[in-house]
Structure 1
């Protein structure tokens, strides 16, 4: 059985970049966001979401309008909880199946998941890597990347456990304040340690 290493951090902290660097080094990386997006777009889940949140979350072709759904749930704890109750069990089941299959065939599997602590996946991984940036840098990156206002970005950041708390629970912390070259060096050092 292979070792599973969880990669987490806050939104816009650089988890995806770290995942890409690890993938480029020849390791398998399971991207929880990608799995979740595919599952949430499935007709059965879209139907359930439309039942709960109304047809305004649908595009004209009946597909999910993720931006509209995000606008409805972020900043509204009860609506976000409903979304999580509908989607997280299905996402968890798929992620666990992928993790088990990968663990059987690989010596090391990386599991990139933004909500590792929030959804209690920490019990399912052998080690945890947190990608860290200061909150102001995180806020700026998120605003630039997604075109959010400061208030919209702050709501997204506040919906997750603070990065500082994630760092306290990590086996490894990658500091993503300097830039891509420095981050790549840290990833290389990480890969030699685990």
Structure 2
């Protein structure tokens, strides 16, 4: 998603968050309609919501208004966090072979499994693989533990090379492979 689309989504999400909250605050009497008019500049809208009071409604209507407002605010927060969170989400799948009748695709889960298997084969234990994608090529980040008797840098280099080799053999587009050693393996996993 390009920058303009992200900006539009953020504006929509903020409006979905601010408008119901403002209406609830004015309806509950926390903010006066004159104060809302000062900041919004909409006299007719401020006066109409100023005459509206949630306390005059039956209990079920107040509960429904609160639930609907909470759901709209929750949707807005989800949209905001989806757009603002750092990092790139990996592509769900990548097409490896585009020939007609021979199309081959691999999912992000499949790429993670291949990378984890390659890291184990190189001597790493408990591999945890995360992916990011840009322009249909993966950045692979693998965190491993290393047996205490092994060289941390040696195992990390072998794991990096093995992951790249396995993914290249499967024609998976890889931009970068990063292997991080988190600590010594206690020997509970092989």
- Specify if TM > 0.5: no
- TM-score norm. by structure 2 comes to 0.24
Bigger-Rg structure (1/2) = 2
- TM-score norm. by structure 1 comes to 0.23
- Greater share of strand residues, 1 or 2? 2
- Greater share of helix residues, 1 or 2? 1
Higher relative contact order (CA 8 A, sep 6+): 1
